[in-house]
């Protein structure tokens, strides 16, 4: 009886420590994913324009604007399926180091990045789905949006 109780206690302890290990999903080492916004030749696109994430993992989505125009990374469906830990604004120094200038926390739906700069969106996907509303809504000189010029993308959360 005593032995049986000891085994039960060990089992319960094991279960609780496993639950603790899963604990704070925003504090695991991030998976870094880089998406370039725009192209240096002036055309409008996300590169890559197909993204895949898994629920429960922490991602650092680096949005790097490599063009001469500002660009948005906008997706309502994506925002509804993730928990945002933070969005941070970074700046590359002349010596190549990336420094953080600001951090934003809370629900984020849209990030705009200016030419030559980058922002990092740290998040944990919490719901699966195929998301097709990734777009840049900026209006170009010809009055068509960047999305209409092809700056759209697809996100799959598994």
**β-bridge mates for residue 51, sequence order:** 155
Under the criterion CB under 5 A, does residue 138 sit at the interface with Cu ion?
A: yes
Under the criterion CB under 5 A, does residue 152 sit at the interface with Cu ion?
A: no
Measured from the CB atom, the residue of 25 and 89 that comes closer to Cu ion is: 89
Of 71, 81, 85, 135, which lies in the binding site for Cu ion, with binding defined by CB under 5 A?
A: 71
Under the criterion CB under 5 A, does residue 135 sit at the interface with Cu ion?
A: no
Going by DSSP bridges, is the β-strand pair 59-65/129-135 parallel, antiparallel, or unpaired?
unpaired
51 upstream amide cis, omega within 30 of 0: no
Q: Which stretch binds Cu ion (CB under 5 A): 40-48, 82-90, 106-114, 121-129?
A: 40-48
Under the criterion CB under 5 A, does residue 157 sit at the interface with Cu ion?
A: no
Measured from the CB atom, the residue of 58 and 111 that comes closer to Cu ion is: 111
Measured from the CB atom, the residue of 35 and 138 that comes closer to Cu ion is: 138
Q: Which stretch binds Cu ion (CB under 5 A): 92-100, 109-117, 119-127, 145-153?
A: 145-153
Task: Give the N- to C-terminal CA distance of the chain in Å, as an integer.
Answer: 45
Under the criterion CB under 5 A, does residue 146 sit at the interface with Cu ion?
A: yes
Total interface residues for Cu ion by CB under 5 A: 6
Under the criterion CB under 5 A, does residue 147 sit at the interface with Cu ion?
A: no
Residues interacting with Cu ion, by CB under 5 A? 44, 71, 136, 138, 146, 151
């Amino acid at each position: 009886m005593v032995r049986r109780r000891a085994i039960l206690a060990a089992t319960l302890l094991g279960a609780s420590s496993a639950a603790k290990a899963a604990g704070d999903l925003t504090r695991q080492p991030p998976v870094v994913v880089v998406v370039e916004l725009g192209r240096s030749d002036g055309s409008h696109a996300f590169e890559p324009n197909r993204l895949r994430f898994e629920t429960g993992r922490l991602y650092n989505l680096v949005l790097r604007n490599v063009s001469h125009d500002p660009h948005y990374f906008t997706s309502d469906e994506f925002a509804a399926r993730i928990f945002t830990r933070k969005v941070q604004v970074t700046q590359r120094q002349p010596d190549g180091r990336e420094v953080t200038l600001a951090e934003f926390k809370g629900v984020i739906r849209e990030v705009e990045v200016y030419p030559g700069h980058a922002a990092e969106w740290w998040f944990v996907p919490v719901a699966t789905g195929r998301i097709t509303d990734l777009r840049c809504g900026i209006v170009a000189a010809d009055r068509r949006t960047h999305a209409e010029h092809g700056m759209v993308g697809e996100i799959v959360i598994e």
